[in-house]
Amino acid sequence: MLKLYTYFRSSAAFRVRIALNLKGLPWEPEVIWLPEGEHRGEPYIDVNPQALVPTLVDGSLRLNQSLAIIEYLDETRPGPKLLPADPAGRARVRSLSMLVAAEIHPLNNLRVLKYLKRELGQDEAQLGVWYRHWCDEGLAAFERQLEDGGAGRYCHGDAVTMADVCLVPQIFNARRYETKVERYPRTMKIFDECMRLEAFKRAEPSAQPEAARAG
């Protein structure tokens, strides 16, 4: 069985949980409690030298980086395809996915926010301003890109793709930091459509068993 090292609030792990659910794959969670620094110590540092979640274990194979994991699952497992068959479609989906995973998320993930607070002395209000600035900039670009004619019920046509898998966790985090996501109506319409699906509902942070530990 596949094993996923995960943390309930991690956007990157959230993406992989969605993909596993969409594919209908059985998987075993291994929770890494980020607030206590479990990702930086043994034995996890031997599992993932980057000291990040998620990590997927498939037999002797260990994979990190959520988009690489999702593409691996798409290429090796049955179930709905998360990348289109045509090169142009794949490129478009990857572009939208990377807009979230490589542009918005890296500036706002937990380790960046902790560094801003601990090393640069930023308070919670200042962290919120930082987060919302970069999130708004990225979501505005996402909204504009959806206007290129390729979107349908979802980010790319009428089938769920990796772009939707990346978008939904970002919106969860944006709301957590009080970003005014209603500014992006096309994006939010797609988000709402995704959240009608059980694969997304079962992957969300509050549905994870360890969520109760956070109080």
Fold of the domain built from segment(s) 87-199: Glutathione S-transferase Yfyf (Class Pi); Chain A, domain 2 (1.20.1050)
- Tell me how far apart the 2 most distant CA atoms of the chain are, in Å: 48
Range(s) of the chain covered by CATH 1.20.1050.10:
87-199
Which pLDDT score is estimated for 215? 67
CATH 3.40.30.10 fits 2-80, yes or no: yes
pLDDT value at position 41? 87
pLDDT number for residue 129: 92
pLDDT of the residue at 37: 87
Give the residues of the chain that fall short of pLDDT 50. none
- pTM: predicted TM-score of the whole model, two decimal places: 0.95
